[in-house]
Amino acid sequence: MIAIVDYGMGNLHSVTKAVERLGAEALVTADEEEILGASGAILPGVGAFGDAMAELDRSGLDEVVRRYAASGKPLLGICLGMQLLFSRSEEHGNHAGLDLLPGEVVRFEGSYKVPHMGWNKLSFLRESPLTAGVEEGHVYFVHSYHARPEIKNDLIAVTDYHQPVTAIVGRDNVYGMQFHPEKSGAVGLQLLGNFLRLC
């Protein structure tokens, strides 16, 4: 069973349907025991970093997610959920994150369109169970802030949007995708399917 962590700010329906379409059982839940008992967990997210962390903190789910990560079972953050895995964000002030991956989340800066929205091609930087058998295809992004991992080897894939932009991260059992795999056609479903196989 895959726990989809419900803290009130996720694209829960589309992620749930994608997981079920790939043949896994999905449970949308904010229950500590259900999350900790799951074979895999997904932290989705849409909205602002500070608001999301405030909701996680208010509900106690921040510590549940940290405990889940410490259990060694696979955890995947999607979009804002990936950004929450990092140490901090500068979105609308300075906010502490879950600090599962060292690094910061910063706003795109430059004379180009923000948010970064649309289909962009992935470039894989190293081998990972997430990308096994997957071609460097196009996936769907919607974001105004991007992650800067402090540890180079945490970076699995980037895309190009006026600069190299973090697309997939991972260390041990903790993974993140900045794009929406559930909205990214065959490539996105392959990546999500690889995560589910890890579970």
Give residue-wise pLDDT tens across range 105-141.
999 999 999 999 999 999 999 999 999 999 999 999 9
Catalytic-residue membership of 79: yes
Domain ranges of the chain: 2-90+101-198
Residue 18 has which token pair? 């994608």
Catalytic-residue membership of 32: no
Give residue-wise pLDDT tens across range 73-89.
999 999 999 999 999 99
* Whole-prediction pTM: 0.97
Q: Is 33 exposed, middle or buried (0-12, 13-18, 19+ CB in 10 A)?
A: exposed
Strand order in the sheet with 174-177: 26-29, 2-5, 40-43, 75-78, 174-177, 164-171, 155-160, 123-124
Average pLDDT over residues 48-53: 96
Architecture of domain 2-90+101-198: 3-Layer(aba) Sandwich (3.40)
Inter-CA distances, 50 with 163, 177, 179, Å: 25, 19, 19
Candidates 116, 146, 182, 199; catalytic one: 182
Average pLDDT over residues 177-188: 96
Candidates 79, 91, 116, 143; catalytic one: 79
Candidates 91, 146, 180, 199; catalytic one: 180
Residue 10 has pLDDT above 90, yes or no: no
Catalytic-residue membership of 180: yes
